[in-house]
Structure formats: structure tokens, C-alpha cells
Amino acid sequence: MNYPQLLSLAAPETILTLGAFLLLAVDLASPRDWSARLRFRVGGLLACAGCAAVMIWIGMHPGHINAFGGMLVVDPLTQLVKLVLLVLVLFAVLISIESTFTLHPGEYLALILLATVGLMFLVSAEDVLMIFVSLELTSLCLYVLTAFNKCSAKSAEAALKYFLFGGVSAAFTLFGLSLLYGLSGATNLRAIAAGLAGREGDPLLSVALVMTVVGFGFKVAAVPFHLWAPDAYEGAPTPSAALIASGSKLAVFFVFAKVLTLGFAGAEGSGAWHHFARGWTPVIALLAGLSMILGNLVAIVQSGVKRLLAYSAIAHAGCMLLAVMCHSGQSLASLVFYAATYGLTMLGAFGVVVVVESVAGDDKLCSFAGLSRRAPGASFCMLVFMLSLAGIPPLAGFFGKFYVFVAVLKTGAPGLGLFWLVALALAMSAVSFYYYLQVLKQIYAADSPPNAPSIRIPLLLRISLFLLAAGVILLGIAPDLLLGAIERALAAAGMDHA
Amino acid sequence: MLAWTIYSSFIGVLLLMVIPKDNAALARKVAILSALAGLIVAVAGFFQLKPGVMLHISTRSWISSLGAGYHLAADGVSLTLVLLTGLASMAGVLFSWNIQNRTKEFFALYLALIGAVYGVFLSFDLFLLFVFYELAIIPKYFLIAIWGSHRREYGAMKLALYSFIGSAMVLAGLISAYVVSGVHTFDLFVLARQPFPHGFQLWAFPLVFGGFAVLAGLWPFHTWAPAGHVAAPTAASMLLAGVVMKLGAYGCLRVAMTLFPEGLEAWKTPVATLAVVGIVYGGLVALVQRDFKFVIGYSSVSHMGFVLLGLATINTIGLSGAVLQMFSHGIIAGLLFAVVGRMVYERTHTRDLPALEAMGLSKSLPFAAVTFVLAGLASMGLPGFSGFVAELEILLGAWRAFPSIALVTGLGILISVAYMLRAMQKAFFGAVPSPVCHADQPPLEPVSVPERLGAALLLGVALLVGLYPRLLLDVIVPSFDSPLFDWLRKGGGR
Amino acid sequence: MSSLPLLSLITMLPLLAGFGVAGFGVRKKAARSLAFGSSLLTVFLACLLWCRFDNASGDFQFVEYHPWIPAIGANYYVAVDGLGLLMVMLTSIVVPMSILAAWRVERNPSLYHAMVLFLQAGLMGTFTALNFIHWFLFWELSLVPAFFLVRLWGGSRRAPAAARFFIYTMAGSVAMLLSFLGVFYATGKLDFPDLAEMARHGALNSALAAKLGWRLFGQAFTARQMTEFVFGGVLMGFAVKVPMVPFHTWLPAAYAEAPSATTMLLTGVMSKMGLYGFLRILLPLFPEQSRWLRTPLLVLAVVTIVFSACAAFAQRDLKRILAYSSINHLGYCLLGVFALAGAGGTALLPATEKAAALSGVLLQMFNHGLTAAMLFWLVSVLEQRSGGLRGLNDFGGLRKTMPVFCGVTGIALFSSLGLPGLNGFAGEFLIFKGSFPLAMGAVSLAALGLLVTAVFILTLMQRLFHGPLNSKWVRLPDLTRGERLLFALPVGLMFLLGLWPQLLASIVNSTVVRMVGRLPF
């Protein structure tokens, strides 16, 4: 493999990096009398163009290569995930364009793009070193993105918390991964699995597993590693929060699933009722259960929508962990579908929060009162997003959950041993229904405060919201559109019965 | 063609979303045209059905990764309920003619609810059925939360949460059944033929049946019903008590009882016991209510107890009685809520029976008084109205299956006479007030034409079915010959 | 026989007329004229029936049969035999009397007359129907107008009276419904003639015993007990209606609070529904059980007779006195019915006695209906003139101011007492004559009732008509010319039937013979 070949393999990432630098350059070189808003728009346009270009490139160059022993895997599955990731990032950029929280739009957008680069490398990685490096790249960008609102103390506090937690968890991750190297003598996931064979009872393996889980658990905000999430989501500028909630979740979950399924293959164990066996599955099941319970219960008492969305993110992470837990092709497909649609939904929800924040100044529930009268279109979009998160058909969220549950039960069969998890998940989604309805109640049933200013939503934001809502509805009515593509990619990548 | 009941409702929703916000008159016209279209299609479909033959409407594949299909069909039972929905929705629109506040949103939500209900009754793919079933929860919530009265937020949330929990239970059972069966499809006909393991059925049946029964108002999961119905605006109460509760009962029949016959056999006695407790309890509580609408709310719980009892008897006559009672109670409950909510409450602004007693309503609202008397008699099960034949058949079926329970049910009928009589007397025929206190109250506005039309429609149907029940029975009973009802023939049979 | 469905007509006509009247709003003259016209038309139809009726045949005539709801065994089945025809004729006579009595009703007259007509339709339907569901439909439907008549036009305590009336009767009806459901479950039939035929051969009992099994808390009930439960349910339904002590407590209040014109209907015809039920349904379908329970039933009949007579004696309100007197007269009918139900051993009781008792019961039903209606009509006239007063001690010496009125009332009261020459005698006499050999003890005790009846009726007359004239009533007008003409008709009828009871007996003779012949004891 020579350098040009490598470049062509990693062309998507390269294009994006170059795009980021170009953005910085353009922003630096822009005339002084251009307002921040104008620069934001120009930069945003460039960023979108970059993403679009990358998507087209990926679409035109399907590949099936495993380079450098798993450091860069380009196969139909990873390309599909990258495509979805880019769509999410595109919308995140679109949402951020009309923001007013920063005077440095170029840096902001460049950081988004660089974070995306990190995520893309993460998706392609099957080597623990590469995974760690990509994770760090992404995390550093995300820390800064969280701190970007210099006028808000909360933003700085959030970023600091995120950074400290993230740093510690990175250490855990690294330690765990190095233990894995020590135990197996390899850094490629599949080689690790081969090397670990026969070492099931080894306590060091358990330590390695726990450390790895801690590290990844932090990134996805699973209980009990979730403490940074509410503050980060609340304090960060809303578009950053949107990115954290959508794109980074998708990529990290994908890699987490790969690490556990490929790397720890053979040490799964089982979390089924009456058939409990040691392994990483019961651990993940426990995390999933705790996340769903805590996330939903605490969300009930929230009075700020961003915090509410944060706790709901924890709960949804729990649900996605369920999909991770079942190490089958169907569960991986359900995971990708769920994370993708979840990302779209969260982007939309945060987009509506941007609208309300720009009018009322904060994201409290009472600021949403009577929104349906003042901004009917945005309210309807919020209706779609909230109901999708709650799992109401015929929206994408429902189908995502449904498919995850099917995958979970199929894993526990015969005997439906994992039914208890599904029952728990359903009970908790009943709880979640309550607080999503609270938001909708404010929007639709409550009266707007007197003298409430009328709301003008910028065109680009309006279009993004409608597109996202339409996407959620479409994927709910015809989920095969995405799911079929995922399953075909899985089959082509040979992972459909992992 | 029957699928146009669903489509016309949703097209109505779309139309309503685009018309301007303040044009209430146009909104009403769209709504009534849509409801009328649904009713006409339902009636046409009713006559199109050949008794005993399944009417397949659409069989398209939908989600291949799951095996879910867009499978719509109808048999006698579904068509009876589709007809009920058409009638109730039409009457509901007529009784909501005077809504001024956010008219178009009201009718949009109303039509969305109707469309979802039609969908449930016509779906024969379990995934599709569930989608429509859960879709119905949202319009219900908003209808109550925005246009309701007394404690509407509490009532709406309670109703929504209970419904959601019920459907979560159903979902758990459905997915389990799907996984256990091993077939890659949600088609009801295929799944009904699958022999599920006995142990599985023993816990899956109460899960699915219980989930649907929550919406059907089975005691003791009925507590959402009085709160929700009382808080809801009139048209919503009519639809909630009249049709949505039947969604639950229909789900019990079509899904739980069809898929898990052995589970049904094992659990039928507890179900019947709970049903009869609901009949008596609902009646007794209705007897002591101070709020007029609560009387009707609890009477709905009591009447649904009859339906569930009929279902639990597992014989042809009990089952046909249950379906007939679903239809009959739908019409009658709609009528009762219409009188209490629209005719009385919106004019007098009180639902307190002692207060109404002093108003002498039989003089000022004679149409309402007559309508309520007739509806009350029908609700008591007086012969000549549809409720009589239904309750009779249920009693016959119950005697065959659970003789002791049948006797208690007779008591329940008597209690229903008592509370209806009490409500009738207090609300309309109270002591004539002294001229002094009556003179300075502004006269109550007379009953409007849309209200009269709605009342006449519902009363006419109740009488027609009461005097000639073969209209419906000739369609319902032959449908029990289809393979979906094999368990009925193997179980008790005649 | 013409092909005109006379029985359906006679039921539908008042129903349609009722709807017509209800639609007339407040124009009371039109309403009451229409109602009266309809009732006269009904009388005409009844006479038509009488003329076409074949006295020699005791079987059902004017049969109309259409299947209706096969799933529950319901058929549209109407026919009349002598008993049915008698009741139809009674109804058609009493209703015009009632309408005339209510000629001056003030409040919402069109609704009032509509209710009366609906009630007539319900009654006609009950007396002609021969399928349980069909019959039950009209049985229940007649309750509703009666309830409203009491509730809306009654006296000061009408609300509890009406409610109690409705609920008691409903309770009885529910019990009856449950029993008949059991019968349907066991036999698959609900037509009375078919069921009676089965009962004659003992097939009904065996069907009930075979199909109705019941285990309550692990204890199974025997076949005999099950059939007794079914019998009890049906008995309950009729016992409340007649009424039989101790199920009579709804009656005095209802009769007193109802407007007198309505009470005419209640006592004249509605009370006969219960007895009709005993004769048409209870006795033919459940002869064995009637025989088993004969003694307690006879005791209850005697108690009814004696207790109600004593209670009448103790009342101060005219209407209540007459109400209890009503119970008393119906008690004689009950005595006759239960005496028929055989006793002791398998020897057949003498047929002539049974026939006499049964004829007496039927004649008493008709005559009491006429007399009681007449009495309440007169009470209503008195009430109108006195401004609402009807206490026993409110009046006195009315003979001086209203001689004609007192004369007419006297005739009616004597007829009620059972004076020979008036219509009340024949029925009572035949009942006693026929029942005495069949149930000696009971009849002897019942004779007490006759004594007490005489006492209270004579007391009534004395208090009202004789004695010093209260100054309030000095200017009380007597019956007008029109009223005298009106009253002449029923009075004439009373004399006619008193002197020539054969007029009625000829209608019922063959039916009586047939019914007696079919009793297995």
C-alpha cells in the first residue's frame, strides 16, 4: 500500500479536512465589514458543500478494503454509516447557521468538520489504537465546541466537566485497551479475539472488559457514567449539543458494538433469565437497564427542555445498549437504524429549541407555552420529534424500538430469556411518554403569555426542520428504505450473523 | 373500497391543516363531508359483505425485514364496528358544530382519531393493527387537554398514560409471539394457525388481553375512563366511550383470543369474574354520583363489563351478544354523552345533579329531556332498543359458561335501572322551581338543528337494531365460521 | 275470518295515535279529541273481534306468526283465546273512560294523552302476545308510560312513588327474564303454546332438569331445585304485578299519587296483567311446581285478602282505601288460581269445581276492572269539585247536595261489595263456589275478608254520603247533564253484566274448559 493508495482510500476524510482548513482560510480572509452572520452563512455553505462532496465521493467509490490490519476498513457497512453520519452533520451545520452565540463562525464550523473527520476514522477503525486516536480527535473537538459560547458561564462549566470526565475516561479506555493488547498480543479486533480464546476465566480479562466498557460508556452517556451529559447538553451552544447527541452517538455506538462483538467474541456470556452466564452481555444489560430507568425517571422532573433531552438521551442510550448487547447481525442493523433515526430526531428537537431560545432567551418549558399558535410549522415538527422519541407509530422512533426489541427477543430465544429487558424497556417508555407529552402540552394546550413576540424562523432553519420531520415520518412509514440498505451492507460486509 | 374510510379521514386531516386558521365554517364543512364519506363507505361496505366470507381489501407487503404487510380485510365483526364508527363520528361532528375555539385543529384531531380507529378495525396484520392502535392515543390526548373541561390536564394525561401502558403490554406480547412463532410475518391468518406452546400462552394471554382490556375498561384498570370521559369535550366523550373503548374489546377478541386459545381457556373464569365485578361496581358507583357526566362515565364501565363477559363465555351466542353490545353501547353512550355534555352542560354550565334538579329542565329543554329518557331506557336494556337483545344473548351465553356469574349479572341490570332512573329524575324532572328564581335566569337557548339531527340519527339506529337485530346478527354470526374462530368451535361451540 | 291482522291493528293503532297526539304541541282540544277518537276506534275493533270470535272453540284465534330473531327464539306471535279477548275488551272499555276522566288535564295534555295511548298499546300487546320476547317487550314497554304518568302528573309525593313502582316491577321482570332465559336454554323455545304443550307431558320439567346444572361453591343443586328456581323467578315477576302480599308495598303510594284518571288504568287494567300472567304462563308452564308450592301460595292469597281489607279499613285517604280494596279483590282471583293448582294425591279434582273457579276468576278480572275504574273516576270527579280534597273525613252528608253522584257511587260501591244484581257478584260467587271444595280451609278464612270488605265499604258510604253536611260543601254542584249521560253507560253495563253474566261467560266458557282440561291435576 503506498501513499496515493492510502489517500484515495481515506479520501472522504481528507476532503473533509481540507474543507475545514479552507473554511478557516476563507473566514480569515473575509472582508472586515462582513457581519458574523454573513460569515457564518458563507462558512456554513462551504461546510455543507464539503459534506455533500464527501457523500458523493463515497457514493461513487464503493470499496471493500481492509488496510493496515484493520486500521482503515472501507466496506459497504462503514461507508453506509459514514453516509448517515454526514447527513447528520449536514443538518447540524444547517441548524447552526443562524446562531448568534459566537463571533468566530469559521473556527466553529471547522471544528465541527474536524470532529466529523475523527468520527469517520472511528467508524472505519477495527484496530484499538486507531479507535483510541479517533476518539481523542473527536472528543477534543467536541470539548471545544461545548465551550464555544464565551458569553455564558454555563458553557465553560459544561465544557470543563465534559473535558475532565472525558479525560479520565480516556485514561480508562487506554488502560483497558492496553490490557487487551497485553493479553492477546495484537491490536486488531479479530486478532484480539483469537488471542483471548481460552482465557475466559482470566481476571485480567474482566478488568480489561470493565475498563473498556467504562470508557465507551462515558462517551455514550450510559449510567453510571452519565454525570457530564445533562450539564453538557444544557450549557453547550445548542448546535453543539445537537452534534453530540446525534453524530457522535451513532459513530461511537457503532464502534462500541464492533469492539464488543468482534473483540470480545467468545466471552459473551448471557443475560437471559435463568440462564445467566458470565461475560460482557450481562454487564451491558445491566448498564442498559440502569440507563433506561434513571434517564426516564429523572427526566420527569426537569423544567428545562435541553436537560430533559439530555436525560432522554441517557434513556435512549440504554435502549441502544440493548441492541449492542445482542451480538447478532439483526441487532447491529437495528442499532444503526435506531441511532440514525434517533440522530435525525434529536437534531430536529434541538433545532426547535434554537427557535425558542432565539425568541425567549432560554429553553425552559414555560417558554414553549402556546408555541403552536405562534409558530405552527415548527410546533408540528416538534410534535413529530417528540412522538418519535416516545415511540409512537408510524414514526421512525417506534420502528427503531420495535426492531431492537425483536432482535433482543430473538437472541434470548428459545425461552424468551431476555423478555425481562424488553418489559423493562417498554415500562420505561411509558414513563418517557409522560414527559414528552408535557412538552407537547406546553406547545399545544397552554396559552401563550400575553404580549408574546411573534416568531420569525429563518428560511434555512425552517427548511431543515421540515426536512428532518419529513425524514422521521418517511422512515417510520417505510423503514425498509434505510433498513434494507443497512441489511444489504451488512451482508456484503459479512457481518450479518456476527 | 372500505379502505376509503381510513383515507377519507386522513385526507380530511390534511385538508384541514391547510385551510386558514380562522375559517371555522369551512373547517366544519370539511369535517362533516369527511365523516359523511366515511359513513357512506361503511354502509356500502356493509351491504357488500357476503355473510361468512372474508372481504379482502388490500394485501401488500410493507416492511420486508419484519414480514409486516399492509393487509386490510373485513369480516362481520369488523364491519359492525366500522359501521358504528361511521355513525358515531357523524353524530360527533354534528354535536360539535358550535365549537368556536381553534375549530380546525379540533376537527383535524377528531378526524385523525377516526381514521386510526377505522384502521384498527380493518387491519388484519398485527403490526399494522398496532400502529393504528397506538396512533389513536395522541389525538385523544390533545382533544381532552385542549378542549376539555373539569380537570382536563389530569384526565387527559391519565387516559394517555393508561392507554400507552396497555399498548406497551400488548407490544411485549406481540413481539414475543412473533419471535416464538418463528414465522417471518405478522399476518393474523398465519399467526392464528401457529400452535404456540402451552406455557407461553399461559402468560402471553393475560399480557395481551390485559393490555387491550385496559382500554376496554376492565375492572380494576378502568379508573382512567371516568376521569377521561368527564374531562373530555362532548364529541370526544362520545367517541371515547362509544368507539375507543370498543377498540380495546376488539383487540381482546381479534388478537388475544384468536392467537392464544389455550390461554383463554385457562384464564376465562378470572376474566368473567372481573367483568361482572365491573358491571356491578360501575353501576353502584354511578348510583351515588353527584356529577351528571360521571354517572354516564361509570355506566360506560358497567356496560363494557357486559362486553367482556360476553367475550369470556367462549360460545357463539355470548360472543355475538358481545359484538352486538359493542355496537349498541357505542350508539347509546354517544347519545347519553351528547345530551349531558352538549345539550345540558353547554347551556347550564353545571353538571351538578342537585343544581340541575332545581332548574326544571324538562320544561326548558324538552327535546333534551325526551332524548335522554329514550337513551336512558335504551341503556337500561328495555326491550325494543338494541341493548336488550345484546344483553339477553350475553346472559344466555354466560349461563352456559358461568351460571353463578349470570345471576349476578341480572343484579347488575337492576342496578342500571336504578341509577339511570335516578339520573333522569334528578336532571330533568326535578321539582318545578318557583317562578321567582326562574325569572331572572336567561332562557336557555333551544336545541339546534345539528344536535337534533345527531340525536335522531343515533336514536333511530338504536331503535332499528332493537326491533330488527337480524340486520347485524345475520352478518356477525356467520363470520364465526371463518378459520379465525376455530377456537370458538373447539371450545364451547353452541 | 277476514285476512285483516286485527290483533296487530289493535296494538298498533293506539301506538300510532300516541305519536300523532304527541306531535300536537299544546293544542289540548285537538289532542284529547284525537285520543278519544282513537280509543273509540279501538273499542270498535274490539267489538269486531268479539263478533268474529268463535265462542265454541276454546283454542287460539286470529293467529299471526312471523319469525323475528331466531337466535334468541323470538317470534312475532299474537293470538287470542277467551281470556285474551276478555282482557282486550276490558282494556278497550277502560281507556276511553280514563280519557274522559282526564278531559280537563291542565299540564301538557297532548303528552298526557300520548302516554295513555302508549300504555294502551303496551297493554294490548301484552294480552295478545304468545312468544316470551314479544310479550316481554310489551310488558316492559307498558311500564314506561305508566311511570311517566305518575311522575309528571301525580300528587305531591309522586317522585318516590313512581320510582318505587318502576323499580319493584323491574326487579320482578328481571327475575322473570332470567328464568325464561333458563327455559330457552333448556328447550330452545319461547312460544307459550309450545311450552305449555311440553309442560303438559312433563317434558318441560325434564328438559329443565337435564340442561340446567349449577354448581355453586362445589355444591350441585338437584334438578327439582333448579326447576323451582326457575318457577320462583317467574312467580316473582307476576307476584309483584298483581300484587301479592308482601310485594304490594309499591301499590298504595302509586295509586294514591297518580292522577285519578291514571289510577283508573292502573287498577282497571294494569293490575290484571299480573293475573293474566298467572293464567297464561305460570299455571300452564309450571303445573308441578305450582302444586308443590300450593299451600304457601294459598296462605299468601288469604293473607292478601284479609290484610288488605283490614288495611283499607284503616285508611283515611279515599284513593288509598280503594287501592287496598283493589288488592283485596285481586286476592280473590289469586285464591281461585291457587285453588286450581291441585292438592293431595294423584286423584283428579272435580272438573266442574275447577271450571267454576276459573270462570269466576276471569269474570272477576273483568268486572273488577270495570268497577274499580268507575270508582276512581267518581273519586276524580269529587276531587275536582272539592279542590283536591279526598280525605274520608273531609266530606259528609253529600247526599243532600249531590244525590245523583251519591247514587252512582253507591251503585259502584255495592258492585264492589258483591251485591247480587250487579256485576261484582258473579265473579266472587263463582270463585267461592268453585274453590271451596278445592281448598276448604283457605276459602273459609278468606270469607273473613268479605266481612271486613263489607265493613269498610259501608263505612265509606256512611262517612261520605250520610251524616251532617259540612258547610263547605253546601254549594257543591251535582253531576251535570253531560256527566250523567257519560256515567249512564258504565252503570248500565254494570247492571247488564250483573243481571246477565252469561254475556261474558259465553266468551270464556270454552277457553275455561280447555284450560282446565289441560291442567294435570
Amino acid C33 reads: S
Buried b or exposed e, range C424-439, using 16+ CB within 10 angstroms? bbbbbbbbbbbbbbbb
Taking CB atoms and an 8 Å limit, are C171 and B414 in contact across chains? yes
Neighbours of A67 (CB within 10 A): 16
Q: Which chain B positions have a beta carbon within 8 Å of A403's beta carbon?
A: 65-66
B172: nearest CB among A394, A410, A423: A423
d(CA B315, CA B196): 22
Q: Which chain B positions have a beta carbon within 8 Å of C184's beta carbon?
A: 396
Averaged over A436-456, what is the pLDDT?
A: 84
Place of cell 458574523: A36
Q: What is the pLDDT of residue B494?
A: 39
Quickly list DSSP for B274-317.
HHHHHHHHHHHHHHT-SBHHHHHHHHHHHHHHHHHHHHHT-BHH
Neighbours of B98 (CB within 10 A): 15
Assign 3-class secondary structure to C444-466.
HHHHHHHHHHHHHHHHHHHHHHC
Q: What is the pLDDT of residue B292?
A: 86
Q: Which chain B positions have a beta carbon within 8 Å of A399's beta carbon?
A: 63
Residue of B nearest to C151 (CA): B429
Return averaged pLDDT per consecutive 10 residues of chain B, 494 residues in all. Answer: 87 88 85 92 86 81 84 90 92 87 89 94 92 92 88 90 93 90 86 86 91 91 88 86 92 91 90 92 91 90 93 90 94 90 81 79 81 90 89 88 84 90 84 52 76 89 90 87 79 49
d(CA B324, CA B477): 10
Give the model's confidence band at A276: pLDDT under 50 very low, under 70 low, under 90 confident, else very high. low
Asked if residue B440 is part of any domain, the answer here is: no
Q: What is the pLDDT of residue A316?
A: 94
The nearest CA of chain A is from the CA of B193 a distance in Å of 20
Q: Which chain B positions have a beta carbon within 8 Å of A410's beta carbon?
A: 179
Asked if residue B170 is part of any domain, the answer here is: yes
Averaged over A448-472, what is the pLDDT?
A: 87
Residue of A nearest to B183 (CA): A410
Q: Which of A132-141, A365-374, A419-428 has the lowest mean pLDDT?
A: A365-374
Q: Which range marks the domain in which residue B112 is found?
A: 4-435+446-490
Q: Measuring CA to CA, which residue among C54, C48, C136, C62 is closest to residue C92?
A: C48
Contact of B151 with chain C, judged by CB distance below 8 Å, is answered with: no
The nearest CA of chain C is from the CA of B32 a distance in Å of 30
Q: How much is the pTM?
A: 0.87
C152: nearest CB among B317, B396, B429: B429
How many domains are contained in chain B?
1
Asked if residue A127 is part of any domain, the answer here is: no
Contact of B403 with chain C, judged by CB distance below 8 Å, is answered with: yes
Q: What is the pLDDT of residue B229?
A: 87
Find which of C110, C111, C181 to mutate to test the B interface (most B CBs within 10 Å of its CB): C181
pLDDT tens profile A395-421: 999 999 999 998 888 886 566 778 888
The nearest CA of chain C is from the CA of B384 a distance in Å of 6
Q: What is the pLDDT of residue A1?
A: 63
> Per DSSP, what are the bridge partners of residue B56?
B73
Q: What is the pLDDT of residue C1?
A: 45
B134: nearest CB among A392, A403, A427: A392
pLDDT tens profile A334-365: 999 999 999 999 999 999 999 888 888 888 88
Q: Which chain A positions have a beta carbon within 8 Å of B159's beta carbon?
A: none
How many domains are contained in chain A?
1
C166: nearest CB among B396, B421, B477: B421
Taking CB atoms and an 8 Å limit, are C141 and B399 in contact across chains? no
pLDDT tens profile B403-447: 788 888 888 888 998 999 888 888 887 765 545 445 556 677 777
Taking CB atoms and an 8 Å limit, are A433 and B161 in contact across chains? yes
Dihedrals phi, psi of A67, to nearest 5 degrees = -95, 145
Contact of B183 with chain A, judged by CB distance below 8 Å, is answered with: no
CA torsion angle B53 B59 B63 B65 (round to 10): 70
Taking a contact as any Cβ pair under 8 Å apart, which residues of chain B between 361 and 380 contact chain C?
Answer: 362, 373, 377, 380
Find which of B147, B157, B175, B178 to mutate to test the A interface (most A CBs within 10 Å of its CB): B175
Nearest-5° angle of CA C247, CA C252, CA C253?
105
Q: Which chain B positions have a beta carbon within 8 Å of A419's beta carbon?
A: 172, 176
Place of cell 441517557: A314
Q: What is the pLDDT of residue C82?
A: 87
C178: nearest CB among B407, B418, B422: B407
Chains that touch B (3 or more CB pairs under 8 A): A, C
Asked if residue B471 is part of any domain, the answer here is: yes
Across C110-206, the runs of DSSP E, i.e. the strands, are: none
Residue of A nearest to B146 (CA): A445
- Give the domain ranges of chain C: 293-521
Asked if residue A141 is part of any domain, the answer here is: no
Q: Which range marks the domain in which residue A424 is found?
A: 268-498
A451 has pLDDT over 70? yes
d(CA C409, CA C404): 8
Contact of C513 with chain B, judged by CB distance below 8 Å, is answered with: no
Buried b or exposed e, range B329-348, using 16+ CB within 10 angstroms? bbbbbbbbbbbbbbbbbbbb
Q: Which chain B positions have a beta carbon within 8 Å of C171's beta carbon?
A: 414
B176: nearest CB among A333, A419, A479: A419
Give the model's confidence band at A206: pLDDT under 50 very low, under 70 low, under 90 confident, else very high. confident
Asked if residue A245 is part of any domain, the answer here is: no
d(CA B117, CA C261): 52
d(CA C378, CA A405): 83
Chains that touch C (3 or more CB pairs under 8 A): B
A86 has pLDDT over 90? yes
Give the model's confidence band at A183: pLDDT under 50 very low, under 70 low, under 90 confident, else very high. confident
d(CA C437, CA C353): 7
Contact of B63 with chain A, judged by CB distance below 8 Å, is answered with: yes
Q: Which chain A positions have a beta carbon within 8 Å of B171's beta carbon?
A: 402, 405, 426
Q: How many CB pairs under 8 A join B and C?
A: 77
Q: Which chain A positions have a beta carbon within 8 Å of B168's beta carbon?
A: 426-427, 429-430
Q: Which chain C positions have a beta carbon within 8 Å of B421's beta carbon?
A: 163, 166-167
Here the ipTM equals 0.88
Dihedrals phi, psi of C302, to nearest 5 degrees = -65, -45
Taking CB atoms and an 8 Å limit, are B135 and A426 in contact across chains? no
Q: What is the pLDDT of residue B113?
A: 94
Taking CB atoms and an 8 Å limit, are B383 and C136 in contact across chains? yes
The nearest CA of chain B is from the CA of C181 a distance in Å of 6
With touching defined as 3 or more inter-chain CB pairs under 8 Å, the answer for chains C and A is no
Q: How many CB pairs under 8 A join A and B?
A: 87
Q: pLDDT tens digits for chain C (521 residues)?
A: 456 788 888 888 898 888 888 876 656 678 888 888 889 999 998 888 888 888 877 778 888 888 888 878 888 888 888 889 999 999 999 999 998 888 888 777 888 888 999 999 999 999 999 999 899 999 988 988 999 899 888 888 888 888 889 889 988 988 888 888 888 888 888 888 888 888 888 778 778 777 766 666 556 677 777 788 888 889 989 999 888 888 888 898 899 888 888 999 999 899 899 999 998 888 888 888 888 888 888 888 899 988 998 888 888 888 899 999 989 999 999 888 888 876 544 455 677 778 888 888 999 999 999 999 999 998 888 888 887 777 877 787 788 888 888 888 899 999 988 888 888 888 888 888 888 888 888 888 888 888 888 888 888 888 888 888 777 777 777 778 888 888 888 888 888 888 888 888 888 888 888 888 777 76
Find which of B382, B415, B463, B494 to mutate to test the C interface (most C CBs within 10 Å of its CB): B382
Helices (H), strands (E): how many in chain A? 21, 2
Higher pLDDT, A289 or B442: A289
Residue of B nearest to A416 (CA): B176
Asked if residue B441 is part of any domain, the answer here is: no
Q: Identify whether the C-beta of residue B430 lies closer than 8 Å to the C-beta of residue B359.
A: yes
Q: What is the pLDDT of residue C344?
A: 44
Contact of C137 with chain B, judged by CB distance below 8 Å, is answered with: yes
